[in-house]
Amino acid sequence: MLQPTNVPERPQRHVGGWWGPAVGVSALGFYAAVTAEGTPGREIGFNADHPWAVYAFMAALVGLMGYGFVRHAGLWMVGRPTPGLLREIPHRLRNAARLGLAQDKVRRDRYAGIMHWCIFSSIVVLTIVTAQVAIEADFPLKFLHGPYYLFFSFYGDLFGVIGLIGVGMALYRRYFSDFHRIRWDERVEDHLIILGLGLVLLTGFLLESARILVTELDQHPDWAPWSFASYALALGLDVFDFSEGQILWLHTWTWWVHITMAFGWLGLIVFTRLDHLFFAPVNAFFLRTDSPGRLAKIEDIEQQEVFGVGYIQDFTWKQLFELDACVRCGRCSEVCPANIAGQPLSPMHLIQDLKGHLANVGPAIQRHQHETGEIGREVSSVALVGDVIKDETLWACRTCGACVQECPVMIEHVPTIVDMRRFLVMNEARIPATAQAALENLEMRGHPWRGTALERTTWMEGLGDVPIFDGSQEYLYWVGCSGSLVERNLPITTAVFRLLREAGTSFGVLGQEETCNGDPARRLGNEYLYQILAQQLIETFKAKNVQKVITNCPHCFNTFKNEYPQFDGHFEVLHHTEFLAGALQNGKLVAKHTVATNVTYHDSCYLGRLNGVYDAPRQIISMVHGANLTEMQRNLSKGLCCGAGGGNMWQEEVGERRVNHVRAEEAVRTGAESVISNCPFCIQMFEDGVPAVHPEEEGRMKPFDVAELLEQAVFGPGAR
């Protein structure tokens, strides 16, 4: 099988980061150490007359952390119970290890990944180093001597240096580069954290070099080089010919500075974003185990007092917990299509605004709940939706999941945004006019396309016999509202139909009996309408004995596949690209005609990022002779939304630019003749966006569906 012409970025899957090389270097050190001669060792607590100070600091730190935990936990607990968090424990533990400890998501930004690993591994290893010193000093167990002592000295220095490299990289990024996102919400603590850690590490080296200068440099010249960095520093200090008294004085003072700063820095965990040290792995454990394309079902919707989340305490406590995990790194906002287009949504600021609101009103709510046992929605006069989070912010979200995908601490922004949208729509009925028209149309006419002159059967004209699904066929070909009621998408529908027929597939369509499966209603926040539409359609499917469905549209695909099981609708669902790629592979379809064309491919969010179907469409393109694929800069899991997701197909955009213009620009930049996608919304957005960024008609890029390209290859160019 042919491969795509250039290999695009793949989601990273390897686990463990740079622990491999680090452990390797350490092992070499270990080997060298055990082969060393003599019984090296050192006096623990050398020249430090106040070991009690360490324990006093430690007690204070533990107390502080206890206080911090109680304070945080009290705020989380104003939220609702979070169902299902203890289900699938093994999967969750894997997430905590893979995403929390191995930091798979941090490494999606390579520079940050290296920097973060350096700092993280350094803190972990140096904590272990310090713990060993404490054990050696105050417990009967004695092991810091002999070869192990040398090895201990070696890796202690190694990870100290690694830590300094990390700090250096962080300093460069923060102070000497024009790197934006970490400065979108910069605070004093950010400087404290990085400068503090650098000073802790430097004073550590200074401390050790002072000791080496006094106890090893002359006495044990063969031991000293094992602490290679401190040894080098000691050699440097030796040049100045300080007296032993001066060195000891330096040592004492450095010890105090080092120990105070180290514990002070650890204390920052309680008060600053350093708390992600704990919250990130725990939040990885809490991360959903089902599809990111699925929105939560409101159970017993008719019995709810309030619909959606309009008050901070109506979030689940997990949603409140993850606010605390946020480190303001800006990765979410950096990839957010709305933010990129200068529209009024920045996921990072949204999370920070929620966090700030919780800190403001949480304690009062906590007291109220404690005293009365009631949820206390009347406690705060500040409206969560409207005052804290603006309506237009919630509407700008495309539910594309890019923010969730990038978040290194596993915050799930999209469900939180949709929860607030639900409140806006169902409870308050505050909806942009065009979105309201789409919702009303769904209620009245069972499709979101107000004013369409087409019928659900219009596309069938001229195709001969179109089989109606009656339960005897294997597949239901689900055309969808966009596939049948929007002029531009009709050729895609017929292309898929002809290819299915050509492949000898046993399938039928529902024709006039199709109704919207409810996806736009759910994304626009009208969960009630969604549930009505979904239940109706599931009944229809069951009555007709539908087992397998092929969909035209990734949104229908996601709804059937991930969301209908919430309503006991279990079907085997394929997107047409998956089915067609399979048909090509098993020879049921033959792409015998050459279609000489340069194309680029746009991953729709609901097929790509949210459902992981990246390969099937690319396989089809690669199997079309003559089709030459150039990837866009943002592709695969880093692909940019076309702008239509999350019900934005039916909204007027607010902001500097339109998202589809941004994406069309990226597509045009590849120089391809056409942009291939897999989603009727994306196609419509490109149809509108490309002419806007490329006004001359001549040589203008054309949007096509994968099926339209394949149709040409199977039936011949221009064949209809």
Partner 1 sequence: MHIVVCAKQIPDPETPPSAFKIDAANNKVIPAQGIAPVLSQFDGIAAEAALRIKEANAGSKVTVISMGAESAQAAIKQVLAMGADEGVLLNDPAFEDGDSHTTATVLAAAIKKLGDVDAVFCGRQAADWDMGQVGLLIAEDLGWPAAIIAKGVTTGGAGLQVTRVLENGFESLEAPLPAVVTVSNEFGEPRYPKLPQIMAAAKKTVTNWKIADLGLDAGAVGKAGSRLKLERLFIPEKGGKVELMEGDTPQAQAAALVARLKAEKIL
Give the x-and-dash track for 245-284 against partner 1 (CB under 8 A): ----------------------------------------
Our finding on whether 547 is near partner 1 (CB under 8 A) is no
What's the closest the beta carbon of residue 510 comes to partner 1, in angstroms? 12
Instruction: Give ∠ CA 632-637-642 in degrees, rounded to 5.
Output: 60
CB of 489 to partner 1, least distance (A): 16
The site map against partner 1 for 282-311 (x = CB under 8 A) is: --------------------x----x----
Q: Under a CB-based contact definition with an 8 Å cutoff, are residues 556 and 480 in contact?
A: yes
Instruction: For the CB of residue 320, give the shortest distance to partner 1 in the complex, in Å.
Output: 24
568 binds partner 1 (CB under 8 A): no
* Contact assessment for residue 680 and residue 557, using Cβ atoms and an 8 Å cutoff: no
CA distance 52 to 548: 71
d(Cα 354, Cα 393) in Å, to the nearest integer?
13
**What is the smallest separation between the CB atom of 292 and partner 1, expressed in angstroms?**
26
Compare residues 432 and 646 and give the one whose CB is closer to partner 1.
432
> Total residues contacting partner 1 (rule CB under 8 A)?
24
Lay out the site mask for partner 1 across 427-446 (x = CB under 8 A, - = otherwise): xxx-x-x--x--xx---xx-
Should residue 512 be labelled a site residue for partner 1 when binding is judged by CB under 8 A?
yes
Side-chain half-sphere CA neighbours of 639 within 13 A: 29
The strands making up 627-629's β-sheet, listed across from edge to edge, are: 627-629, 597-601, 674-677, 702-705
Instruction: Check residue 487 for interaction with partner 1 (CB under 8 A).
Output: no
Q: Does 387 bind partner 1 (CB under 8 A)?
A: no
Q: Is residue 700 a contact residue for partner 1 (CB under 8 A)?
A: no
Distance separating alpha carbons of residues 398 and 390, to the nearest angstrom: 16
Does 452 participate in binding partner 1 (rule CB under 8 A)?
yes
- Can you tell me the distance from the alpha carbon of 550 to that of 552, in angstroms, rounded to the nearest whole number? 7
* Between 369 and 457, CB nearer to partner 1: 457
Query: Which is closer to partner 1, CB of 511 or CB of 655?
Result: 511
Token pair, residue 622, equals: 């690669």
Q: Are the C-beta atoms of residues 307 and 430 closer than 8 Å to each other?
A: no
Core vs surface per residue 455-469: b (16+ CB within 10 A) or e = ebeebbeeeeebbeb
Cβ–Cβ under 8 Å, residues 244 and 213 = no
* Nearer to partner 1 (CB atom), residue 302 or residue 465: 302
206 versus 298: smaller Cβ distance to partner 1: 298
Residues 77-136 that bind partner 1 (CB under 8 A): none
Q: Are the beta carbons of 582 and 668 closer than 8 angstroms?
A: no
- Kindly state whether residue 453 participates in binding partner 1, applying the rule CB under 8 A: yes
Strands 548-551, 702-705: pairing kind = unpaired
- The nearer residue to partner 1, 158 or 426, going by C-beta atoms, is 426
By CB under 8 A, is residue 378 in contact with partner 1?
no
Residue 631 near residue 8 (C-beta atoms within 8 A): yes
Binding flag, residue 535, partner 1 (CB under 8 A)? no
Instruction: Assign residue 477 a region (left: φ > 0; alpha: ψ between -120 and 50; beta: otherwise).
Output: beta
* Binders of partner 1 in range 406-425 (CB under 8 A): 425
Coil, helix or strand for 446?
Answer: coil
To partner 1, the closest distance from the beta carbon of 506 in angstroms equals 26
Question: Whose Cβ is closer to partner 1: residue 506's or residue 512's?
Answer: 512
Does residue 543 belong to the site contacting partner 1 (CB under 8 A)? Answer: no
CB of 446 to partner 1, least distance (A): 8
Q: What's the min distance (Å) between Cβ of 623 and partner 1? A: 38
Structure tokens at 224: 């000293």
Based on CB atoms, which residue is closest to partner 1, 47 or 427? 427
Looking at 40-109, list the stretches that DSSP marks H as alpha helix, in order from N- to C-terminal side: 51-76, 89-95
Would you say 642 and 675 are in contact if contact means Cβ atoms under 8 Å apart? no
The β-bridge partners of 677 are 705
Measured from the CB atom, the residue of 239 and 543 that comes closer to partner 1 is 543
426 binds partner 1, rule: CB under 8 A: yes
Q: Which residue's CB is nearer to partner 1, number 232 or number 454?
A: 454
CB 456 within 8 A of CB 489: no
DSSP annotation of 487: G
CA distance 181 to 195: 19
Q: Does 451 bind partner 1 (CB under 8 A)?
A: yes
* Matching residue, tokens 């930049």: 669
Q: Which residues here bind partner 1, judged by CB under 8 A? A: 302, 307, 425-429, 431, 433, 436, 439-440, 444-445, 450-455, 458, 512-513, 528
